[in-house]
């Protein structure tokens, strides 16, 4: 079946502009995550959605970053007034259910490479 998809695959923008990154999770997955991967680094957690619960926004680096998830499916990560340090690959992941004490394999999308000039 279809995996996690993200669009665009590449985005080049000028400093100060706003950008929107889209994530389509695997159908039926209730949990959705956004991560950021800077060049040569590991993944950094940004935000997490689970069903109708309030999202965990603890990883958002500043108030320029926001995300929403409409209808429990598609999610959009918005970065306002982009800065050069926002340049990174933004990865989205989804998982089927959240099992207390168990593990929930997170399936990752291909990412969006954002370059801020």
What residue ranges bind another protein (CB under 8 A)?
31, 33, 35, 41-45, 48, 50, 56, 58-59, 89, 91, 93, 95, 98, 100-111
**Which of residues 17 and 57 has its CB atom nearest to another protein in the complex?**
57
**Which of residues 18 and 85 has its CB atom nearest to another protein in the complex?**
85
Closest Cα partner for 61 from 79, 39, 84?
79
Q: Give the distance from CA 92 to its chain's centroid.
A: 4
| Residue 63 beta carbon to another protein: minimum distance, rounded to whole angstroms | 19
Inter-residue contact 112 to 96 (CB < 8 Å): no
CA atoms within 13 A on the CB side of 16: 0
| Residue 107 beta carbon to another protein: minimum distance, rounded to whole angstroms | 8
| Residue 83 beta carbon to another protein: minimum distance, rounded to whole angstroms | 23
Closest Cα partner for 83 from 66, 64, 111?
64
């Amino acid at each position: 079946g279809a995996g996690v998809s993200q669009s665009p695959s590449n985005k080049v923008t000028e400093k100060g502009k706003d950008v929107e990154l889209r994530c389509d999770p695997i159908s039926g997955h209730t949990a959705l995550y956004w991560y950021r991967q800077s060049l040569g680094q590991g993944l950094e957690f940004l935000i997490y959605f689970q069903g109708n619960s309030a999202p965990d926004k603890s990883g958002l680096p500043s108030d320029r970053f926001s995300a929403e998830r409409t209808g429990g499916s598609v999610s959009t990560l918005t970065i306002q007034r982009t800065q050069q340090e926002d340049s990174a690959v933004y990865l989205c992941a989804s998982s089927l259910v959240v099992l207390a004490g168990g593990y929930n394999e997170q399936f990752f999308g291909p990412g969006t490479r954002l370059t801020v000039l």
